[in-house]
């Protein structure tokens, strides 16, 4: 059976933006994407801008989501935001387990698994980030780190995600995020193929795998041509309408 996975490009704005900057960015982006053949496209702004972004993107082909979520569904968790709240705001995606959250906020593999499960239970699409540090890559531990990070997620989602169509995995080597460095195409494909095998063994045959880490207009076409790369999770380039639209166009080439 041939599995068709629609390419996906999601922009992670991180802690950037203002009401005016967001408006200008999205108006420019929508103009550049108009009348073009598109993959599935989304953006993930900081929490305070979700209502504005949702209003600007309503009735457009671009979806929106959040950069993190609480592992808890409701309760006395000051400062946290639940998946059901994000659902109320019209979100489609939630990034979970980004390396910056793991590094600066102490999120563990088990926390990330819980976040993915509550996201999925709320009818949203978790984008589960995995990736190794420079030290781990240099020590040849990349695949072992990926396996460790994925294991609790796959366990949590066992029997819950219908063949994985509503789950996304993003491979983001930590040493490539925001550095301008990227692995070789062969290196990217090798890790994605390894992740694909783990997903297939878990019955998640439709799960898309994105690449993230210094993706830009100049390398997107090469990266997205790799057989197990289904799109990208884009950081800095997502804040530039021309760059991001070019990346989206490159992903559209995977459409059948």
Pick the catalytic residue from 71, 100, 107, 172: 172
> Domains plus CATH for the chain?
8-252 (3.20.20.70)
Give the pLDDT score at 158: 85
Q: Quote the pTM value.
A: 0.96
Q: State phi, psi for 253 to the nearest 5 degrees.
A: -65, -15
Our answer to whether residue 172 is catalytic in this structure is yes
Express as a percent the part of the chain with pLDDT over 90. 89
Give the mean pLDDT of 72-89: 98
User: What mean pLDDT value characterizes the chain?
Assistant: 95
For residue 94, what are the β-bridge partners?
66, 126
**39 in Cβ contact with 6 (< 8 Å):** yes
Q: Flag the least confident range among 20-24, 44-48, 88-92, 155-159.
A: 155-159
Give the mean pLDDT of 72-91: 98
> Is 38 in a helix, a strand, or coil?
coil
Question: What's the pLDDT tens digit per position in 148-171?
Answer: 999 999 999 987 767 678 999 999
Pick the catalytic residue from 98, 107, 132, 243: 98
Question: What's the pLDDT tens digit per position in 175-193?
Answer: 888 888 889 999 999 999 9
d(CA 220, CA 225): 8
Q: What is the dihedral of CA 88, 209, 239, 49, to 10 degrees?
A: 10
Question: What's the pLDDT tens digit per position in 193-205?
Answer: 999 999 999 999 9
d(CA 101, CA 233): 15
Q: Residue 1's pLDDT band (boundaries 50, 70, 90)?
A: low
């Amino acid at each position: 059976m041939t599995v068709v996975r629609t390419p996906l490009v999601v922009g992670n704005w991180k802690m950037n933006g203002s009401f005016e900057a967001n408006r200008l960015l999205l108006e420019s982006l929508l103009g550049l994407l108009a009348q073009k053949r598109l993959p599935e496209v989304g953006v993930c702004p900081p929490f305070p801008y979700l209502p504005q972004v949702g209003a600007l993107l309503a009735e457009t082909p671009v979806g929106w989501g959040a950069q993190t979520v609480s592992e808890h569904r409701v309760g006395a968790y000051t400062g946290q935001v639940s998946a059901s709240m994000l659902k109320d705001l019209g979100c489609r995606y939630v990034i979970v387990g980004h390396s910056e959250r793991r590094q600066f906020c102490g999120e563990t593999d088990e926390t990330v698994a819980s976040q993915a499960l509550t996201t999925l239970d709320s009818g949203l699409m978790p984008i589960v980030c995995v990736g190794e540090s420079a030290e781990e890559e240099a020590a040849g531990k990349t695949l072992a780190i990926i396996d460790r990070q994925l294991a609790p997620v796959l366990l949590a989602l066992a029997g819950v995600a219908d063949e994985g169509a509503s789950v996304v995995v993003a491979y983001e080597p930590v040493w490539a995020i925001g550095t301008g460095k990227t692995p070789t195409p062969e290196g990217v494909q090798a890790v994605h193929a390894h992740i694909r095998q783990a997903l297939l063994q878990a019955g998640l045959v439709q799960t898309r795998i994105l690449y993230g880490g210094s993706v830009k207009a100049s390398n997107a076409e090469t990266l997205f041509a790799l057989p197990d790369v289904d799109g990208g999770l884009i950081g800095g380039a997502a804040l530039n309408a021309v760059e991001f639209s070019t990346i989206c166009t490159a992903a559209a080439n995977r459409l059948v």
